[in-house]
Structure 1
Amino acid sequence: MEPDPRFTLANERTFLTWLSTALALSAGGVAMAAVPADVFVPWVRTVLAVMLVSLSALAAGMAYPRWRNIQRALRNQAPLPPPALAAVFGYGIATVAIVALVLIILSV
Structure 2
Amino acid sequence: MTSGDADSASGQQEPDYRFTLANERTFLAWIRTALALIAGGIAIVQFVPSFGIPGVRHGLSIALTAAGGLLAALAVRRWRHVQAAMRRDEDLPPTQVPVLLGAAIFVVTVAVLVVLVVWPPTGS
TM over 0.5: yes
Q: 1:40 to 1:66 in 2, by over 3 A?
A: farther
1 or 2, which has the higher helix percentage? Answer: 1
Separation in structure 1 between the aligned mates of residue 100 and residue 45 of structure 2, nearest angstrom: 22
Separation in structure 2 between the aligned mates of residue 33 and residue 53 of structure 1, nearest angstrom: 11
Separation in structure 1 between the aligned mates of residue 29 and residue 55 of structure 2, nearest angstrom: 31
2:40 counterpart residue number: 28
Gaps of 5+ in 1: none
The worse-fitting range, judged by mean Cα deviation, of 42-51 and 64-73 is 42-51
1:78 counterpart residue number: 90
Letter aligned with residue 36 of structure 1? P
Pick the structure with greater CA Rg: 2
2:53 counterpart residue number: 41
**Any idea what SS the aligned residue of 1:42 has?**
coil
1:44-103 deviation line (CA, Å, top 9, x unaligned): 222211211111010111221211110010111111111132232111111111112223
2:113 counterpart residue number: 101
Report runs of 4+ in structure 1 exceeding 3 Å deviation.
none
Q: 1:32 to 1:76 in 2, by over 3 A?
A: same
1:69 counterpart residue number: 81
1:17 counterpart residue number: 29
Identity of aligned residues (%): 45
Q: RMSD across aligned C-alpha pairs, in angstroms?
A: 1.7
Q: TM-score, normalised by structure 2?
A: 0.76
Q: TM-score, normalised by structure 1?
A: 0.86
User: In the comparison of the two structures, how many residue pairs are matched?
Assistant: 107
Separation in structure 2 between the aligned mates of residue 40 and residue 19 of structure 1, nearest angstrom: 33
Q: 1:40 to 1:89 in 2, by over 3 A?
A: farther
